[in-house]
Structure 1
Amino acid sequence: MEDRDDLLVKCHQDAIKKRLEAENLLIEQKSGYKKFSDTQDQHLSLAQELRQIAGKLLKISPEADECPLCHTQFKIGDLSKHMTIDVDKNVEALGQALLSEMKAQEDAVRNTAAVESIMTWLMNYCEKVGLAQNITVREALSAVEKAKGTLAKADTQFKTLSSDLISLEAQGLTVEMVVEISTRLRDFGYPLDEFTQETAERLRTMIKQNMASLSQTLDEDNKNIHKLQKKITSTLSPVATVTKDIINELSQLKERLSTTERLSKKLSKFSASFPWLDKRPLAELVIEAESVRQLAAELQTALDREKQANVSFADSVKRKELLEKKISKLNQRQNKMHEAFIVLKDLQNNHSLESAMKSALQQNRASIEEIFSHIHSPAEFEGIGSDWTSLIRKDGTESKLSQISTGQRAAFALSIFLSQNAQLGKQAPPVILIDDPIAHVDDLNSLSFLDYLRELVLMHDRQIYFATASDKIASLFERKFDFLGEEDFRRIDLSREYHPEKTNQISKNNRP
């Protein structure tokens, strides 16, 4: 420990300085020991290499007991033992000495750090308690010991107070109640300096004595007050009755004045619109005010009706505009429908579908009869009858379509279709789409129809799409057209079931 008679500041600075010096010395010792360890490792490595070299030389040397380095002669077998003897005892001793010094220096660093910590704590303590820092260490320690004594005394008092508080709380008296009682006693001039039994008992005795003297004084004052009250009552009794009546009248006048002022403020808002003489009676004002109120109510009712009428009128105007727009649109639609009706009426009267059909068929009559004679056999008919619902037989008689066979009607319908297709020319693609046209035609006429189709392909450059559900007709069609080759003829097998990998499988090359 530093000299206790030295100044605390100087001791603190010396402790910091010694701690820094001890730490620097410890760092130097650790660095020296590290260098020693590195040197020792290098020494051991070199010694091992030297032993290996010496061993190799002994193996090739004829003198097995002579040192190959210093040529010292050893007894038989002693040279190899001497080579394995630990030659590092001095080095080990030096290392242990360095470790001991480093350990001692670490203890010294801890001691100086502890002294510095103590001095720092004393400095902080002096600063907190307001002591001058130019005091000695002895004075600072004395102040600390004194503070310890004060703290011990306070702790004892605290324990005593805690015990008293526990006892009071057991009797139903809490800390808050004690503080409140102490405050009230201080306000009454009886301060409770200490919360001890003796102080409380002394204060209670003082209060009892003061209460006795005050009680006597209070009795005397009460007697005097009673006498004075009797004198005042006998003196002021007549005056009190008159005063009470005056007070009642004043109260009524104040109320009437207040009411008048409120009414005057309200009437001042209407004075410009309804001038009123100040000398006229208030009753007339009330009557006229009631009349004005009724007129105002009637005016408000009329205004409400006018407002409602304006709203209804505005809605009616909007409704009218909306209906006019709808009427305009409906009139346009009506005009268009009327024009369409006139056109349809003209078509019905002058350009009927029946007449147009008759005209078209009449133009193609020769072509239809020629095609019919090619695709139908035997040749029972010479041509079309007087109308398009009959055919002329060889004997000159006419037969209705309902009187001939299904196959004959089918051949007649195909003749009309092929004739119409032939009239298209270049106005439409050269394509014929036929879906199972000869389902009700016999085999002979089926072959005749297929022959005619082949003639169309060859002579008129038509592309035919022929669909059929009959394998027999499909085979006949394929035989009739397979001469075209793979470039111009194909067969497409269709299926009702969906197979992505087999959909529309083509058995022959598609025609471009």
Structure 2
Amino acid sequence: MTIDKIKAILPPSFVITSNSDNQKQLYVVQKYNGLDIAKYVFDLDYENQDIKLDDYQDKYIAKDYFDSEGNLQWNYYLIFLRSSLPAKFKKDIEKDETFARKFVFTYQELEDYLNYEKANSIVEENIVEKWKVELEKNDLQEVFSNEPYTQAVPRYLENKAKKLTELNPIDVEPDKAQDFMLDGISNIKLNDDYRSFPEQRNFDFGKVNLICGPNGVGKTSLMEGIELVVTGNNARNENDFPNNGAIDAKYEVNLDELADSYSNNIPKFKARNYYWYKTSYNKQKSNTLHHSFNRYNFYNSDSAYHLSNNANSNLLTPYLTAIALGTEFGAVRDRMIGFRKRMGDELANFKSNLEREQGLIKNAQEQKEALKKISNPEKIFDKFLDEAKIVKWLTVLPATINDSFINFEKDYDVIKGLLNSIVHSKVGKEFDAIDKLSNLENLKKGLEAKESEKGKLRKQLKIEEKQAKELEQNLKLLDEALSYLDNPEAFKIETIDEEIKASEKSISRVDVFLSEIGKLNINDISSSTYSFKNFRENQEEFLKVKESELGRSQAQLKIVKDALDKVKSIIVDIKYYGKEYIETKQDLSECPLCETPHTKSELEAKIQTKYDDKESSKDIGVFNKNIGLIEKEILEAKSRVTRLKSYEDTLKGFFPIDISSMPITELTILTEEEVRQLAISKKEFDELKTLSLDLRLKGYDVNEFIELKRNLASKYNDFSFTVENKFQFESLKKSEQKSFDDNKEKVDSVKNKIEEIDGIILELIKDKYDLERYAEQLNFEIKEFQSYKNYFSDLHKYIDFEKDDFIIELRHSLESLFKTFQNFKEQKVKFEELNLANKIIEESNEKIKKSQPKVTRAESALQVLHKLITEDSEDIVLDDFFKKNESEISEIFTNIHAPQEFTKLSFSSGQILLHKKDSLTEVPISQISTGQRSALALSVFLALNKKLTNGPNLIIFDDPVTYTDDLNILSFLDYLRSIVINESRQVVFATASNKIAKLFEKKFAFLNTDFKKFELSRS
């Protein structure tokens, strides 16, 4: 590869600065307005594939890189020209980010890379405008309006669709004042009534403008403010209009400045759409400029984000459509699909209704055929009226055939019910019912008189029986009293239980007392003549004396022991206490110290021998023995004091007297008296229990006795219930017995009279009614015949008849009348059905006639809509778009995507295919990476922007590459810089990423004052 071949393809802005010693490395600088904006190193060692990248860069790049100033270090490129290189090695080189961006090109690829290809400047055919022409031609202009389906579809079917002049009556010709070339925006001012953010309200723009800052500071609001003032609407927040004058702008137009201000002026923006994007003016029913602007000038970040981050191939086409064909394409297409669905539903409904009406006509004709033979209802109605006169019908009858028969039918139902009730009663005539009722009422009066007489006797009987019961109770009460009076001992039944309880309690108290005394072991105390106080004082004095003796003996023993050495003293003690131990222990068989087996006698002999060894040992023994005796006396004295206290407390708790000063011997005598008295009490207790048992065995009961006393006191309060009054109670019984006998005679007399009356009543109801229920049965029969009488009275309100007329004949006449009525009614219904059938045929034919034009229009609309939807489907339109723009999109895509593994792209079978550089492999868009899809979205947008001839010389990006890797961001910014340099486009670029903002600034800072950076924040 020669340097001359490189020079041949270098653009004018690329200048060769030097060459390496081996002539294999060519150093080139890219110039812009006399400034160095990028550095390139072309490696011309075409056949060399042994590239050690780190060593290579240290040798050929590092020094020049570090000598370069500022932003040039961010615009340093190393290009290896190679005929071929292993794909993986090539990819590793292009991914390396040390010092410079790296590419591996063939000579042809280098030429393509260096030579920026300008667009052919042919604006794409607007398919939406084509649709609008076709829709308007077929009276379907409301499809591309905002008219509700529920109103637009019915209007179309009625051939009353709104025309364009109605949908958009404001203007007819575009405003020529809007025919200008927008070269750029020099200033945007956001007034106070436009949103709260950004806080900065005035922006003087340059050629390239960076808007940066975190989310929420107002970057998007600024972008949408530009969109609003330029287009009058927002694609993202459509129809969310600010106040007129909320945004002011200054445009660069033909080297002059043009002032503009936001206003919701539809003609103004329609005219711009017409002049800038060649959108048919008269076919715009409203302002759609923002859709065109978002297709060509304002990068649709939302659709691009979905395209980049959605791997579902079925969902990629709509997002790609929004980018390539504009958002209005999808909106109008959705409207056409919505119209088609609703028009299809309406057509199906029309056809269903037509089918139903035709079915109604067929059924009505069949009904007419079946009703050919019917009688004249007028003649039958006349016959009905004649028969009504014969039966002497009294209520109002219909005068004509068309009058209501409801009252007649109700009256007949009432009459029929009355007649049926009378017939079932077996009463043949009205006269029979009246006669029977009279006889029954007379019988009732006679029976009621006897019942009244019997009632008086029953009242008298009740009084006498009550008195008899009282006398009987009195006799029973007196008999019970005499049973006690005949046995005076029985009166004790009232108190004997309490006496037994008291005796038992007293005995128990003494038993407990004596038991406690017995436990105390007071033999050495009870014979004392001292009082308790004196005895206690005596013992306390004795204790003091003995405790003093004990102290002296212990002191003397200590003196003796001190005379011996300590070991000998201990031995003496052991021997002394050992002797005491042996004397006390009876069953001793071994030495208590060494546990050596010995008999008790052997141990006594040993301890005696040892104990008698020396005189000093004997002295100690004497002292020990004396101390032991004193200690024993002290213990005995303390025991007496303790027992004395217990004895005193026991006596105090029993005897209700002050015993503190009494001699103990006297108290012992009192205790012995209690023992003697206890024996007497126990004998009396046994006698009481025997008497209690005897009384109960004889049937005496304390509760009955108390109740008897209470009843006697209540009934005979003149006499006390005592043994002394036995005679008086015997006299009382005789008197009560006589009264009882007299009362019994009166009761028997009244009962006999009642029996006589019952006999008379039985004779009156004999063989007719049951004796127990005759009144109920008689009343029921009277009520029954009263009802029959009332039935006849009610019947006289409807028909005229005599009391001697047989009711069965009357019913037959009425049934004949009703049969004639039913025949009339049936024929009248058939006559009405015939008229109804004729009416149905007429109305259905009229409905079919009215629906047919709607069916024709619906079918026509469906044909047009189906044709547009299918012939201009997303796949077809996208296919056409990519065929026309394939080379430009591919050229941009391969430039902004790194590493460059794809050479071109195509559209086939509803999906985009990317072609791998070093193979024939085709990869669907759904299988490429997020960054590659993001690059594709940008490629489509930039290709469209480059085609604009009259449109705004402006590109707006709102966070376009947030989800793209660093290498692709650099590639994109490099290409964007080429557009700025070669197309002279104004760029407004917003990002929340600090990293992207820094990269952007490094790439465009060479513009100096033409580069503006706005850092937005919130205070």
**How high is the TM-score relative to the length of structure 1?**
0.30
Q: Which has the higher strand share?
A: 2
Pick the structure with more helix per residue: 1
